[in-house]
Amino acid sequence: MRTAEKHRLARKCKAGEIEKMIGETEQELEHTSREVPRLDTLISREAVRLSGDRKQLMDVIKITARNLFYEAIAPFNPNSEVGVKKWG
Q: What is the pLDDT at residue 18?
A: 95
Stronger pLDDT, 40 or 67, i.e. the higher one: 67
Q: What is the pLDDT at residue 88?
A: 42
Q: Amino acid identity, residue 84?
A: V
Q: What is the pLDDT at residue 83?
A: 54
Whether the per-residue pLDDT at 40 is higher than 90: the answer is no
Q: What is the pLDDT at residue 75?
A: 83
In the predicted model, what is the mean pLDDT of residues 12-30? 93
Whether the per-residue pLDDT at 57 is higher than 50: the answer is yes
Distance CA 56, CA 61 (A): 9
| Residues contacting 75, CB < 8 A, separation 6+ | 83, 84
